[in-house]
Structure 1
Amino acid sequence: MKKVIGCLIIHGFTGGPHEVEPLRAYLSKRTDWKIEVPVLKGHGKELNLEDASHELWLEDARIALENLRKNCDKVYVIGFSMGGMIAAYLAATQKIERLVLLATARRYLSFKYLSFYIAEMIGDGFKGKLNENDLFLHYKSKFGDVPLKANIEFMKLVNRTKQYLKDITTPVFIAQGHKDEMVPYKAAYYLDEEISSEHKEVVFFEQSDHLICLGEDSDVLNKMIYDFLTQEICEETNQIEKSTI
């Protein structure tokens, strides 16, 4: 009897399913998996983060995983940015078969480089090209909608979950954009060092910034994730691979 496979995809801080939609669509087109992309408390197209907390975000993801587990023989978990740390936490504390970490915020988002992005937006504004700036288009509706409390909860989530990285033994695929300044590319090296899994694949994408699922490398990224999730992994030769695309 054919096994039923579930796939849980977790979005990032202040984001929503739209951040990972190209990946969801790619997997949905090529598989018969049950794919879930839950909206974490306070997130989505209209932010309402005043009463949100890191405990609620973790609970939302845990419940979504449990619901998939009820109807699936295997479950894969994919996390983007803050969602990557939530996915890592689930992999350390729950039974999953494969883990994918995308631009994972193992440390806090870099406010130094966030200011760089803002400066870039201002420059594009003077040139009359602001509506061509991908980051502006993604975050413009969020300015002023993220209370300080929510940012503190985000930092609490990172602090709480990073201690579980050493407990992960699930095969893991780590993807990081070289142009990502919000989560500097070195974060992928830290994840590689701290995660205990014997099978780890780490790939850097030269043309990608933080929104890795929406960037120029997305087609290649989607295929590599699909290949990782569908390949047979020999337990005796759990080979670690690092490459740059």
Structure 2
Amino acid sequence: MQGCLLIHGFTGSPYEVEPLAEFLRKKTDWNVKSITLPGHGDELNLRGVTSDKWIEAAEEGVEELLQSCDKVYVIGFSMGGLLASYLAYQYPVEKLVLLSAAAYYVNPKQLLKDTKEMIRDGMRGQLVDNELFIRYKNKIGATPISATLQFRRVVRKVRPLLKEVEVPTLIAQGLVDGIVPPKSAKYLYEQISATQKEVFYSPVAKHLICHSEDCDELFERVFIFLNQ
């Protein structure tokens, strides 16, 4: 049996990767598993939670699949992409998929555009449909500075290990992502040592790439990559 572990991002939940998880469940008979990192989920409780706990949760998820599956794939979104890269370095996973992976974070120019768009949507009474508003309306006050520092700790820990990642890797990045800039995908491609690696750029995807207008194309690309 094949297993697939999906890891969400900082301050997020499995919702961020759920469309891809459901796509893979419908297309395959794999054991597709999404985890919720400590302190994360529908209600955030990040105070006092360390990056080591996030790494441990990711390790427990991949170890569980490795015990029951012949092949295991790991997919990570945003900070989850860094955790997934760490697993690919530490464990015998077959393939790695990085979605908007936060080797770099905050794209000031795009974030400014998104903020202006959010203001316009608010004036038109369409704020509830704005991605930036949906993602951050309940998170800013619930995210202590200490948690942000732990996120940065994950980045500092994993970036030097990327050159040790040798498993086939697919990197996907939205070109209008206000959180993770496109240069992050370029950096990952250059740093990861895998001989089989590729980059998929979405011209329309913002940060929540699994919820983008062209996500079907991304999902097919992921499916083909994992089945090669």
What TM-score range do you get, normalising by the shorter chain? Answer: over 0.9
Letter of the 1:152 partner, please give it: L
Could you list the structure 1 runs, at least 4 aligned residues long, displaced by more than 6 angstroms after superposition. none
Letter of the 2:200 partner, please give it: V
Identical positions, percent: 47
Letter of the 2:22 partner, please give it: A
What is the CA distance between 1:115 and its match in structure 2? 5.1
Q: Which residue of 2 aligns with 1:167?
A: 164
What is the CA distance between 1:51 and its match in structure 2? 1.8
Letter of the 1:144 partner, please give it: G
Letter of the 1:59 partner, please give it: E
Determine whether 1:197 maps to 2:194. Answer: yes
Letter of the 2:33 partner, please give it: E
Secondary structure of 1:89's match? helix
More deviation, 129-138/151-160: 129-138
Choose from 39, 43, 58 the match for 2:55. Answer: 58
Letter of the 2:224 partner, please give it: D
What is the CA distance between 1:108 and its match in structure 2? 3.3
Secondary structure of 2:17's match? helix
- Structure 1 residues 102 and 179, CA gap change in structure 2 (3 angstroms): same
- Distance between the aligned counterparts of 2:8 and 2:98, measured in 1? 11
What is the CA distance between 1:93 and its match in structure 2? 1.3
CA contact (8 A) 1:11 1:20 kept: yes
Q: Which residue of 2 aligns with 1:33?
A: 30
Secondary structure of 1:66's match? helix
Choose from 211, 214, 223 the match for 1:214. Answer: 211
What is the CA distance between 1:201 and its match in structure 2? 1.1
Q: Which residue of 2 aligns with 1:238?
A: none
Determine whether 1:84 maps to 2:81. Answer: yes
Secondary structure of 2:35's match? coil
Structure 1 runs not aligned, ≥5 long: 232-245
- Distance between the aligned counterparts of 1:35 and 1:177, measured in 2? 24
More deviation, 106-115/167-176: 106-115
RMSD: 1.3
- Distance between the aligned counterparts of 2:113 and 2:205, measured in 1? 16
What is the CA distance between 1:223 and its match in structure 2? 0.6
- Between the two proteins, the alignment pairs up a number of residues equal to 228
Choose from 170, 180, 185 the match for 1:183. Answer: 180
CA contact (8 A) 2:171 2:200 kept: yes
Letter of the 2:149 partner, please give it: I
Structure 2 runs not aligned, ≥5 long: none
State the TM-score, normalizing by the size of structure 1.
0.89
What is the CA distance between 1:136 and its match in structure 2? 1.1
Q: Which residue of 2 aligns with 1:9?
A: 6
What is the CA distance between 1:124 and its match in structure 2? 1.9
